[in-house]
Amino acid sequence: MKSFRCSLLVGGLLFVTASAWPADVPPRETVTKDGWTIECSPIDRPAAERLAAQTARLDQIVQQSTATKIELEPSALAARAGEFAQKISELCAMPARQDDLQAELVRLAAGLAELQIVSRRAYFPRAIAIWRKSELIRRLGSGEKIGGFAFDPATKEVSFSAAASFNLDAQYHVAGTGEPLKAIPVKQKEEGPSPESAEGLIDVFRGNVDGLEAMNGWLIRLSVGGGLQMAIRQVLQKEVSKDPAARWIASGTAGWVTRLLILRETSPQVAERYTLAEQQRLASQGKLQQVKLEQWPSDNDGAYVLAAARVFRNIAEKHGNPAVTQVLTAFWRLPPAQRTSKSFRKLYQQLLKEPVEAEAPESTLSP
């Protein structure tokens, strides 16, 4: 089983890197207090010192924001692993694998809890960077590289974004993370000395922390959704034939039942936040034209996962979720060696009176 990886591109987050500065721009300074570091240009040192006097408030803002709960917390997944395993087994007509699935869900929950801790640490450094657009233009325009920022010389506009990625490996351990944020940004007014009050900067800091937590919640939701698919696919894959052409059946079933389970636990609007494949659907639609599900590669490419899930979702939307369970029940009754793509096609035709290609994205299944 391959790792689950989630990558996000988010505007408004600033990476701060140390590098050479242009001759007409003085080096940046830092103020430290109570474990907080505030970076600024010399003109903004008074504002940095006033912020440093507010570390208790800064800690409180981070604490309040990161107390946000998601709908399917890893702890809830662990506590309800038996219940979820039973529901999934019933929906998938899963043959004698409920105990295996429950154990898999418990392991997954532990990995997701670890990921939740790691991602929050990465997103919420005890550091603030105060930037002015004019300084950024001079630095970036001179060729200096500042992580997260881009500069368009033609328009003199500065843009910034940050990418973050987190991996769960085959045993649901956090195997890799993107570079953590070096500082949470606040924006100072363009020119002149810093204002007397730190309130404006604290308000911006609070807004940025709330935005970070919203992004972090989204990442954890996607990780829960992707992890559930990974765990269910891991168990179901043991039941299909060893023929690679049949891999899409286990993967598509896992994608369908994951979405159905999350729908039952949340709502249609919230469920979409948990399903990575659905987040990628429109962006990946072009790639699907090159996918041949029965020629699934060993690296478990994301477009194949998406296409397989879409086949089963299309079946459910056209014939109802019980129709999916009906076909799977008949499929699992076959001897393991006969649980092939060819057999699935034949059963589908017999039970639903049409070829399964009718429910597949264009060109993903050969007629």
Percentage, residues of the chain above pLDDT 70: 83
Backbone dihedral angles phi then psi of residue 37, each to the nearest 5 degrees: -125, 130
| Predicted pLDDT of residue 11 | 35
pLDDT digits (tens, 9 = 90+) for 160-214: 666 667 778 878 888 777 678 888 888 766 655 555 567 888 998 999 899 888 8
| Predicted pLDDT of residue 289 | 64
- Between CA 20 and CA 52 the distance in angstroms is 26
**In the predicted structure, residue 103 carries a pLDDT above the cut 70:** yes
| Predicted pLDDT of residue 5 | 42
Three-state SS letters, 32-99: EECCEEEEECHHHHHHHHHHHCCHHHHHHHHHHHCCCCCCCCHHHHHHCHHHHHHHHHHHHCCCCCHH
Q: How many C-beta atoms lie closer than 10 Å to residue 267's C-beta? A: 11
pLDDT digits (tens, 9 = 90+) for 207-252: 989 988 888 888 888 889 989 999 999 999 999 988 888 999 999 9
Name the DSSP letter for residue 54. Answer: T
| Predicted pLDDT of residue 252 | 94
Mean pLDDT across the chain: 83
Per-residue pLDDT averaged across 324-351, rounded?
A: 95
- What is the token pair recorded at 233? 């696919």
Shortest CA distance to 261 belongs to which of 307, 229, 236? Answer: 229
Burial class from Cβ neighbours inside 10 Å (0-12, 13-18, 19+) for residue 106 reads: middle
Sequence letter at residue 35: G
Per-residue pLDDT averaged across 309-323, rounded?
A: 93
- What is the token pair recorded at 205? 């800091």
| Predicted pLDDT of residue 290 | 72
Rounded to the nearest angstrom, the gap between the alpha carbon of residue 217 and the centroid of all alpha carbons in its chain is 9
- Between CA 343 and CA 341 the distance in angstroms is 5
| Predicted pLDDT of residue 270 | 83
- What is the token pair recorded at 2? 């391959």
pLDDT digits (tens, 9 = 90+) for 336-349: 999 999 999 999 99
| Predicted pLDDT of residue 197 | 67
Sequence letter at residue 43: I
- Between CA 261 and CA 87 the distance in angstroms is 8
- What is the token pair recorded at 214? 């919203």
Q: Which helix (H) or strand (E) holds 158?
A: strand 157-168
| Predicted pLDDT of residue 67 | 82
Q: Are 232 and 257 a contacting pair, CB within 8 Å?
A: yes
pTM equals: 0.82
pLDDT digits (tens, 9 = 90+) for 263-315: 999 888 888 778 765 555 545 556 666 778 888 887 666 778 888 988 999 99
